[in-house]
């Protein structure tokens, strides 16, 4: 019988989904994806998570709930670190425990630890462990992982070219009527989740605005800029966001920056402040922070976004190099 593995559409999903989908399909499993985020998933997530959790963690719980009666296993790895000497947010590390304690009657979780701070040998064991839910054949697992890595590279280059293959976000090549370019900043699961982000990327694109996101950047360039910080940023998402912002501010090839953050995010409380200071002081770049939680109304977000893009268009038409923002 084919093993069914559920993959929740949240958190690391936007970064790694093609890798794990290919891996398990190559091993002969059926991969079942939770539905795109919607009101029901959000409400279920909110009901089944501790109040203190951030919105993306609540949404993740909603996706796990959505899969609970449809699959044999749910993929909820314990993500500690995906780069040497760096860490992911603590909420990623404790995710399997949080999910298991919050939602009753779950199928078993695939909760293998991913920790790139451990030795190469231990990483091999990690991959075997992930595969062993479907087969005990190490050669098959190795081949499936190699194939998955190739798919993952293709996915990354598609995003770099400005296409958003997951969740049907508009392809940036479709429209280019405006000469405004905005950097949409934030954790991947915030900016690419259509429902959670209130369609931020789509709204900008529908107005013909060109966008860039951290995932479109060259990793080497981002790392070079992040490495000039006085102290190493040891959170991987933080390093990527700061390096991207520093590069874009220096290059001066964007007209403004919109940062989408989740209320109560510990990492963003530091990163946003650092980026905003750099944007305003060094680049004199208009900066808009949108902070969301489950109570945020879309109308308010739309108004702020429209005012921001109107200001950028006015500035482009009339201002030349003079600043209108202090």
Smaller CB distance to ligand SF4: residue 66 or 268? 268
The CB density around residue 35, as the number of other CB atoms within 10 Å, is 12
Question: Is residue 96 near ligand SF4 by the rule CB under 6 A?
Answer: no
Question: Is residue 91 near ligand SF4 by the rule CB under 6 A?
Answer: yes
For residues 284 and 147, give the distance between their C-alpha atoms in angstroms, rounded to a whole number: 45
Question: Is residue 54 near ligand SF4 by the rule CB under 6 A?
Answer: yes
Whole-number minimum distance, CB 90 to ligand SF4, in Å?
Answer: 7
Collapsing DSSP states into helix, strand and coil, what is residue 86? coil
Q: Hey, what's the torsion of the CAs at 213, 218, 224, 227, to 10 degrees?
A: 50
Smaller CB distance to ligand SF4: residue 56 or 199? 56
Binding to ligand SF4 in span 115-174, by CB under 6 A: none
Smaller CB distance to ligand SF4: residue 184 or 265? 265
For residues 63 and 188, give the distance between their C-alpha atoms in angstroms, rounded to a whole number: 16
Structure tokens that stand for 78 in this block: 């314990």
Where do runs of H (alpha helix) occur along 173-218? Answer: 188-191, 200-206
Smaller CB distance to ligand SF4: residue 46 or 148? 46
13, 102, 187 from 99: Cα distances, Å:
16, 5, 21
Binding to ligand SF4 in span 64-83, by CB under 6 A: none
Question: Is residue 94 near ligand SF4 by the rule CB under 6 A?
Answer: no
Stretch binding ligand SF4 (CB under 6 A), from 137-145, 262-270, 297-305, 313-321? 262-270
Smaller CB distance to ligand SF4: residue 131 or 238? 238
Where do runs of H (alpha helix) occur along the chain? Answer: 13-26, 39-47, 55-67, 90-93, 95-102, 120-131, 138-160, 188-191, 200-206, 219-226, 236-251, 266-277, 298-314
Q: Smallest Cα–Cα separation from 164: which of 206, 193, 195?
A: 193
Smaller CB distance to ligand SF4: residue 262 or 309? 262
Whole-number minimum distance, CB 194 to ligand SF4, in Å?
Answer: 17
Question: Is residue 95 near ligand SF4 by the rule CB under 6 A?
Answer: no
For residues 287 and 276, give the distance between their C-alpha atoms in angstroms, rounded to a whole number: 7
Question: Is residue 266 near ligand SF4 by the rule CB under 6 A?
Answer: yes
Q: Is the CB of residue 211 less than 8 Å from the CB of residue 248?
A: no
Smaller CB distance to ligand SF4: residue 89 or 217? 89
Question: Is residue 265 near ligand SF4 by the rule CB under 6 A?
Answer: yes
Question: Is residue 42 near ligand SF4 by the rule CB under 6 A?
Answer: no
Question: Is residue 217 near ligand SF4 by the rule CB under 6 A?
Answer: no
Given 7, 57, 159, 305, the residue binding ligand SF4 (CB under 6 A): 57
Question: Is residue 56 near ligand SF4 by the rule CB under 6 A?
Answer: yes
For residues 210 and 201, give the distance between their C-alpha atoms in angstroms, rounded to a whole number: 10
Given 21, 58, 187, 225, the residue binding ligand SF4 (CB under 6 A): 187
Stretch binding ligand SF4 (CB under 6 A), from 19-27, 49-57, 170-178, 284-292? 49-57
Q: Hey, what's the torsion of the CAs at 258, 260, 266, 271, to 10 degrees?
A: -20
Where along the sequence are the contacts to ligand SF4 (CB under 6 A)?
54, 56-57, 89, 91, 187, 237, 262, 265-268
């Amino acid at each position: 019988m084919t093993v069914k593995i559920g993959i929740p559409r949240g958190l690391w999903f936007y970064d790694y989904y093609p890798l794990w989908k290919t891996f398990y399909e190559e091993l002969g499993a059926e991969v079942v994806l939770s539905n795109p985020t919607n009101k029901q998933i959000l409400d279920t997530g909110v009901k089944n998570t501790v109040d203190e959790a951030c919105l993306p963690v609540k949404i993740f719980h909603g996706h796990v709930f959505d899969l609970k009666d449809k699959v044999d296993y749910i993929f909820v790895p314990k993500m500690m670190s995906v780069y040497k000497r760096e860490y992911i947010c603590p909420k990623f590390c404790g995710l399997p425990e949080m999910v298991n304690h919050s939602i009753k009657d779950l199928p078993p979780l695939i909760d293998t630890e991913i920790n790139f701070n451990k030795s190469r040998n231990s990483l091999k064991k990690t991959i075997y462990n992930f595969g062993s839910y479907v087969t005990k054949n190490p050669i098959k697992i190795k081949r499936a992982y190699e194939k998955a890595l190739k798919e993952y590279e293709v996915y990354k280059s598609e995003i770099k070219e400005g296409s958003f293959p997951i969740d049907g976000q508009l392809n940036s090549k479709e429209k280019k009527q405006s000469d405004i370019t905005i950097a949409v900043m934030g954790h991947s699961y915030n900016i690419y989740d259509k429902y959670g982000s209130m369609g931020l990327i789509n709204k900008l694109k529908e107005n013909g605005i060109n966008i860039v996101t951290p995932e479109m950047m060259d990793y080497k360039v981002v790392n070079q800029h992040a490495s000039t910080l006085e102290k190493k940023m040891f959170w991987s998402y933080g390093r990527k966001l700061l390096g991207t912002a520093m590069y874009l501010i220096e290059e001066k090839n964007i007209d403004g920056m919109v940062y989408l953050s989740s209320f109560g995010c510990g990492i963003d409380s530091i990163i946003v402040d650092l980026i905003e200071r750099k944007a305003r002081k060094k680049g004199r770049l208009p900066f808009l922070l949108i902070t969301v939680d489950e109570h945020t109304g879309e109308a308010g977000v739309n108004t702020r976004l429209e005012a921001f893009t109107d200001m950028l268009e006015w500035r482009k038409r009339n201002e030349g190099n003079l600043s209108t923002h202090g």
